[in-house]
């Protein structure tokens, strides 16, 4: 019998793509989402409709808030998922400045309830979304999982660091195998309206100016969604292990006693913001009206993933260049919005 998955944030960008693949492979998926209005609810509903099309009675959608601990407990008790993929979160670095309480509720309390549910109804593996924003203002590049991440520069990043620490404690004490994924600027079809590809595309096609922050002196390790999907699916079965037979005379080795892992999921090829805009202009066959601005609070100048650990664990590295990824994104955008 194939494993039963619980996927949170199933109507979100990454959760949707992972769930779609699991359904196509015949797994039973319990999908959770609160369908909040942080961005267009109709896009989230359209993603859900796509999942229902792929489903052959192996998909159950439940609308719920993860902050509702009692209801979440009932879901785990009834459906007994074997593997949990936790992608639900209040997203967005800049919005965390405007509405910090949303991040505390969803990203801290919600994640705590997921961990408690996994403790009370043991699972084989909990995979959860962290973020490249956790590296904050680190100057050393590329960013490695071994680097200290003690200086988050946004509340969003702080909640993701907290998630990693919370997961570590549950992995150590309760032996729950956990894998945290530090995603680097994921983009592609069905992407989020609050991210650059969607914002820029909409503005360029509408003859509206785009804000080019830090006067264009920025770079992002844009990672195409299909590469992200492949990495996550490979990692599902790479369950962190721990040594059950630690010699009592051996000095305490927390790492050996804890089934815990953090992995960068990035493209390892940063693209300058100006180059990104050029590629998008080429695909849209239309020039952007650029409005150069100062860097925003909470933003970092460059992100760049060291993916040596990902290659070591799953023998995989992303291959999709920005030219191909944006081509696919623009094709989907025109089709979905009938342009």
pLDDT of residue 51: 97
Residue 62 contacts by C-beta under 8 Å, 6 or more apart in sequence?
30, 31, 32, 75
pLDDT of residue 252: 56
Q: Are 26 and 59 in contact (CB under 8 A)?
A: no
pTM confidence score = 0.94
* 228 within some domain: yes
Mean pLDDT per segment of 10 residues, for the chain of length 339 residues? 91 98 95 95 97 90 96 97 96 81 92 98 97 92 95 91 97 97 98 96 97 94 98 97 65 78 97 97 97 87 96 97 98 96
Q: Are 133 and 80 in contact (CB under 8 A)?
A: no
* 192 within some domain: no
* 14 within some domain: yes
Instruction: List the structure tokens of 181.
Output: 């994924």
Closest CA relative to residue 128, chosen from 90, 169, 87: 87
Residue 237 contacts by C-beta under 8 Å, 6 or more apart in sequence?
none
List, by residue number, the catalytic residues: 156
pLDDT of residue 177: 98
pLDDT of residue 94: 77
pLDDT of residue 32: 98
Whole-number CA gyration radius for the chain: 20
* 147 within some domain: yes
Domain with residue 249: its CATH number is 3.40.50.720
* 237 within some domain: yes
Cα first-last separation, the chain: 44
Number of domains in the chain: 1
* 76 within some domain: yes
CA distances from 211 to 274, 277, 293, 297 (A): 12, 11, 6, 14
The residue segments making up the domain with residue 258 are: 4-184+223-266+305-319
* 205 within some domain: no
* 104 within some domain: yes
């Amino acid at each position: 019998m194939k494993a039963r998955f619980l996927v949170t944030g199933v109507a979100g960008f990454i959760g949707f793509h992972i769930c779609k693949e699991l359904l196509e492979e015949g797994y039973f998926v319990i999908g959770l989402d609160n369908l909040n209005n942080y961005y267009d609810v109709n896009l989230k509903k359209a993603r859900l409709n796509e999942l229902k099309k792929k489903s052959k009675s192996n998909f159950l959608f439940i609308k719920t808030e993860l902050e509702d601990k009692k209801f979440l407990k009932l879901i785990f008790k009834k459906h007994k998922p074997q593997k949990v993929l936790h992608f639900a979160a209040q997203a967005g670095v800049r919005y965390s400045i405007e509405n910090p309480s949303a991040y505390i509720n969803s990203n801290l309390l919600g994640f705590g309830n997921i961990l408690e549910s996994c403790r009370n109804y043991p699972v084989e593996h909990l995979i959860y979304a962290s973020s490249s924003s956790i590296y904050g203002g680190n100057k050393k590049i590329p960013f490695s999982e071994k680097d200290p991440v003690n200086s988050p520069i946004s509340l969003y990043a702080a909640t993701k660091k907290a998630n990693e620490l919370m997961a570590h404690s549950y992995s150590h004490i309760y032996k729950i195998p956990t894998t945290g994924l530090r995603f680097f600027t994921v983009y592609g079809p069905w992407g989020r309206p609050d991210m650059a590809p969607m914002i820029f595309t909409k503005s360029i096609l509408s003859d509206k100016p785009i804000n080019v922050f830090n006067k264009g002196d920025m770079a992002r390790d844009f990672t195409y969604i299909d590469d992200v999907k492949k990495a996550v699916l490979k990692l599902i079965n790479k369950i962190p292990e721990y040594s059950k037979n630690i010699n009592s005379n051996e000095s305490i080795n927390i790492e050996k006693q804890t089934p815990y892992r953090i992995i960068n999921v990035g493209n390892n090829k940063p693209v300058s913001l100006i180059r990104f805009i050029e590629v998008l202009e080429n695909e849209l066959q239309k020039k952007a009206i650029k409005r150069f601005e100062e860097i925003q609070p909470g933003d970092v100048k460059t992100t760049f993933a060291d993916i040596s650990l990902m290659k070591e664990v799953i023998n995989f590295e992303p291959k999709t260049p920005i030219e191909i990824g944006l081509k696919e994104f623009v094709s989907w955008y025109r089709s979905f919005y009938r342009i």
